Each structure stands twice: as C-alpha cells, then as structure tokens.
Structure 1
C-alpha cells in the first residue's frame, strides 16, 4: 500500500480548477518515424502555469483557504513556485517561494508576476528546501514540500485517472522523475486500474539520486547535480516517497544530456511543442533504447513548458523570435 488513496484522488478532481484537468492526450504520428514506436502525448503545459504542478497546489490552497493561517512557503526549481503562487492568489493566501538564484529567469519572473514573495538563495534546490523549512518554522506557516506532501502526489495522480479513463491501448508510460510526486501519483493509479501498463521513470544521468535510490531500495544522495533539466535536479530523495515509488515503478532509467536536447528538438520539429528539458525525458529514453520500445504504444507526459528561451535556442538551434 502506498500513502495515496484512490477515493481521495477521485475527490481531488472536484477541488482542482477545471482549467488544469482533462489535458490533451493524443497520438503524435509525426514522431513515430523518428522513434520507431507509437507515441501518445499527455500535454500538461496547456494551462495558466504551463506545468502539472497546479493539480497539487490547488489541493493545498483549498485546504489552507479560510484557516487561521492562510499562508504557505515552498522551495521550488520554478514550476511548483508558480503553481503555488497561482493557486494561492486565487484563494487569498500569502505565498512565499524560495528558489536558487540560478534558476531560469523566466520561471522566477513568472513567480513574481503572480504576486508571491520570492526569496533567492545561493545554492541549488536542496539549499532552497532548507531555507523554506526554516522560514516555515520561524513564521509558523505551512511548508509545502513537493512529493512529501500527499496533496502534491494525489493532485498529480489525477493525470493517471485521465489516462485510465481514456481507455487507450498503450503499453508503457514514461514519466519524468525528480522528487517523485508525478511518478508515484500516476504510477499508483496505473497499478490500481491498468496493472499491465509498464511504468517507466526517467531521470538525467547528471541528477541520478532518486533512480539510484530506486535501484538500491534505499535513499542514495549525491553531492551535486549537472543537468539542464533543472526541474528534476534534486540531490536528496525523501524516504516516504521512495517507499511509494518502489511499489509502483517497473523501471527507472537514466538518460544523457545529448538525448534530452535531441528530444526537445524532436518535440519542436514534429509536434510543434516548446518544452523544458524535464518534459523531454520520455522522448530521450526512447532515443536511447529504441529496441525496447519498437512496435509498442508509449505515452509520454509533457510535464512542463517553462523554459528559458535564450538557453532553449542554444540547446535546440531554434532561431530566436524577434518582435517588430
């Protein structure tokens, strides 16, 4: 048994703003010649925060609204912060986001635009997590911890319900693996209702902590990360999340940076999608192991589209767009 509850996940759909639900799921024929398999895309970028994270923050914010302390703080690589700011603004919450000053400028600017208080730290995401925890203790407010807080996992799990309810004949789902909320949430639902579907988690070779932990069945930390996929670049997995992941993931694989960039290019050229590196991990996994997926129908979750455009142009070779 994981920490997740199917009844709560179904109930979450009544709380989450419909703008984040029932995101597009479609087969992308144009990708198939390049990948050698049937590929369907679950597009989690077509919403006001351009990532799946608001499914979870909607649950958090709904439970905090109207309480004696309608305030929250989180650490974020960018997407969770945007999502919490958006959900909090709609429900009158005071939101603080702690992020690395090295996070993509586009993500930081969007957090500010959503009226959250933004505090920047020198260091990476795990440094920001320590600072957010300290602020929560000092100010006596809710600390929102991605993947540890069950709302973030069960919010993400509603994606799994949509995959199952669509009744597609797919063989595997490729899920970006960072802290683990998306993988444990979607994985829980698939193993409950579609146990024959293979749940494959994908992480960058330069940020392998959770994958190593899954393989060794114990928490394995790393001293640093080295990847363009900032959204999944954690160093310190959470034991409770790992315990859930061990029950629902069939495999966890690591991919190279060159494959991530190639995946971003393919999604731009053949699907017309501008995505952040984390969202291309599933395509990268297919590129690195074509034989494994040959002849199969695979779903990849496009989990985020908040990308620093100058960096994106460097990675993909796409020409920048100039105004008049």
Structure 2
C-alpha cells in the first residue's frame, strides 16, 4: 500500500474527453428537511447512468496495444458492465461480459447498446460472486485481461475522479455520503477527499441485507457473507475487495446500513418530489440521511447518487416494499366462517374508512365450517394498524399476521 501512489488528477485528465463532469445540484427540499446545505452529485446523469464508467475506462485506456488486441473480460451486476462495454467501443477492443442471471433486463439491453457490437454477454449464476468465478476462469482460458469492478488500483483511481469533481465544484464540502458495494467509489473518492481536506467527514452506506464492508470493518478484513439480500443489486456483494477495504478503513469516518424498504421509499420520493430516477444503490446516500441528522446539521453535505439504471418493471416491487416498510401494507391469513354475511361483516365492520383491500384469495377449505383467505390491506396511516387488529378480535375473526412471519410471508405473498 505504501508504495502505491494514486494520481486522481491524472485520472481526471485521462477521462476528461470521455466521461461527463456530472452536476452537483443543490436540493432545497432535503436541505430544509435536514437543516443543512445538501447537494446531490448526479452520477445518475453520467453517460452510462452510473459512475462505473470512470474506473473501467481509466484501466482499459492504460492497457498495452497487445493487451487490447486480446480483449477484456468483466463480471458485473450491470453498471460496471456498461462502463466496460462503452470503453470497449471507444478503445476498439472486444469484451466478454459476465452478468448474473437475475440482472434486470434494462441493464442487459443498455450494456449491449453501449458495446455497439464489440462485446459478448454471458448470463450465469444468481449473484455477482457466482458469475465472477466463471469470468475469471474464462479470462485465464483465453489469455485476456480481467477488468475488476472495484478491487484494482486503476479502477479505484478512476472512481476517485468523482471526488475530484466534488472538490472542484464545491471546495467547502464538509460531509460526503457515498454508497458502498465492493468499495471502489468510497475508496477512490474518499482517498482524494481526505487528501484535500483531512477534516472532511466521510460516511459509507450499505444495504442492510448486504453489509459486506461493515462486517469487514468488524472483522479487521474482508469476509464472505454466507447469504445476502440481492434487491439493491448495484451494492449487493458477498465480499468487498482487499484493496478497497484497506483504503476505506483508512478514510471512512462511519459505516452505516439502510433497510431495503427505506431505500424503496427514497426512490419513490426522489421521483415524485424531484423527478430524479435512481436505482436502489443510487438511493442509498439519501436514504441514510435520517440516521445522519445530527452529524450533518448546519453543514455543507454532498450525497453521491451513484446510478440511475432502474428497470421500470421493478417499480411495482419497489412500491410494495416501501408500503411494507412504512407500515402501510399488511397481509393476513383470515379464517372466514362459511356462513352468509361473513365477508360483508369483515368489509363493513373490520376495515376502517381509509383502509383498502388490495388482495383477496381463498387458500383452501379446511372444513365445512371455515375457510382461510389471504388478505392484503393497505392503510391510509400506519397508526391505524392497532385499531384494525382490535376490530378483527372484536368481530371474532381468527387471523395470522404474515408481516411478522417471514417464512409464511415469502411462501404465500
């Protein structure tokens, strides 16, 4: 580590004619809500709609003519893939891109578009870590160059140019909040920002279901998580990089996590209030603001919005997760007596004036006297929930609260 010198300014010059210098936008609503001066670093407006192009191009552009002739390989959940694809087209080299089978279709299509005929896509495995194994094997077999998504000094250097732009545009920045998946962005941008201002407060944030950097901090080194929630696909990795861990450990002042449901609420708020379309990973830095309120009060704050590659087909899932997190959507197994008027009684005397049935289906008849049904109810206010349960009890409906039983919830809902 001591022998490695990361030159972020040189990287910025290397990328100047290729990468977009993204806007640093003041957000009045968030500034008022958190009593600070809050700016959004809009990497969702990057050419490939994420910062990942920076690291990919910085590395590939420094390969020798011989290496470029053999081609490059990468493994990616989507954004790094688009950065590599764009770079392959610009630098006239062929690329083979491995992506998890669960990668949103929108990201696959975008990758093909940016590759412009210079790339081949291979969908394999359920997670980034699964497809990484296949990609490395392919690289060795074909003597190509592997372009890591985060654990490489040239890639880290490229991602660090986000920090260069922040300091150019807003040298008085006091706090920067950055999302973390493998750690490339936080390692690069964080290192540059600390070089320029040792007193700057740097906060890293991960999805609650994939806290790989937080666990690495706790264990003193990268550890492989046995299982992760893959919803925040741009930041869901089982193991952070060795290089990124060392750099992040040296520059980050805090590591926080955010529930996936809170991320979904943030995605919807950014869209509805600011007309900003972000992917789950891109919402992390804004979603964590409630947990940072005391640390950012009265300060000049930058939240890095890391990407905007959100598949429109996921919006219903995002809305559902948000409603569940906010306590506005509840699912039950309700045992309805098999007699006339039972459902009418439920609708007229159990549901409140602002409640709405969003799902109803009988599961099966357990006897001639009763039959269970799966019922989804959306509330106008989360505070109405205790009263709803009380009315169910008063009217003698037997219910199972599925929101409190994860196994049953996943099986039935």
TM over 0.5, yes or no?
yes
1:283-322 equivalences under 5 Å are: 283-316=286-319
Q: Does 1:11 align with 2:10?
A: yes
Provide the C-alpha distance between the structure 1 equivalents of 2:181 and 2:263, rounded to a whole number of angstroms: 15
What is the match of residue 145 of structure 1? 148
C-alpha contact 2:20 2:47 (8 A) present in aligned 1 = no
C-alpha contact 1:207 1:227 (8 A) present in aligned 2 = yes
Cα shift at 1:310: 1.6
Q: What runs of 5+ residues in structure 1 fail to find an aligned partner? A: 319-324
Q: Does 1:195 align with 2:198?
A: yes
Q: Deviations over 1:264-314 (max 9, x none)?
A: 122213322100010111111112343333333321011101111121344
Q: Does 1:256 align with 2:259?
A: yes
Cα shift at 1:147: 1.7
Q: Which runs of at least 4 in structure 1 moved beyond 4 Å after TM superposition?
A: 1-4
What is the match of residue 41 of structure 2? 42
SS class of match (1:210):
helix
What is the match of residue 321 of structure 1? none
What is the match of residue 103 of structure 1? 103
C-alpha contact 1:282 1:300 (8 A) present in aligned 2 = yes
Cα shift at 1:263: 1.7
SS class of match (1:101):
coil
Q: Deviations over 1:115-149 (max 9, x none)?
A: 32000112210011111100100000001112212
TM-score under structure 2 length normalisation: 0.73
Q: Does 1:25 align with 2:28?
A: no
Cα shift at 1:199: 0.7
C-alpha contact 1:64 1:70 (8 A) present in aligned 2 = no
Cα shift at 1:204: 0.5
After alignment, is 15-24 or 213-222 more displaced?
15-24
SS class of match (1:63):
coil
Cα shift at 1:17: 4.7
Cα shift at 1:152: 1.2
- Where relative contact order (Cα < 8 A, 6+ residues apart) is larger, the structure is 1
What is the match of residue 250 of structure 2? 247
Cα shift at 1:200: 0.4
Task: Pick closer, same or farther for the CA change 1:268–1:3 going to 2, 3 Å.
Answer: farther
Provide the C-alpha distance between the structure 1 equivalents of 2:201 and 2:3, rounded to a whole number of angstroms: 20
Q: Does 1:79 align with 2:60?
A: no
C-alpha contact 2:44 2:282 (8 A) present in aligned 1 = no
Larger-Rg structure:
2
Q: What runs of 5+ residues in structure 2 fail to find an aligned partner? A: 323-413
Provide the C-alpha distance between the structure 2 equivalents of 1:82 and 1:158, rounded to a whole number of angstroms: 18
Which among 225, 229, 250 is matched to residue 226 of structure 1? 229
Q: Does 1:89 align with 2:89?
A: yes
Q: Deviations over 1:31-59 (max 9, x none)?
A: 23344433101111223210111111112
Provide the C-alpha distance between the structure 1 equivalents of 2:109 and 2:2, rounded to a whole number of angstroms: 36
Q: Deviations over 1:222-262 (max 9, x none)?
A: 11211421011000222222111111111111111122112
Q: Kindly tell me the number of residue pairs found equivalent between the two proteins.
A: 317
Task: Pick closer, same or farther for the CA change 1:168–1:29 going to 2, 3 Å.
Answer: farther
Provide the C-alpha distance between the structure 2 equivalents of 1:135 and 1:227, rounded to a whole number of angstroms: 24
What is the match of residue 50 of structure 2? 51
Cα shift at 1:168: 3.9
Provide the C-alpha distance between the structure 2 equivalents of 1:56 and 1:282, rounded to a whole number of angstroms: 20
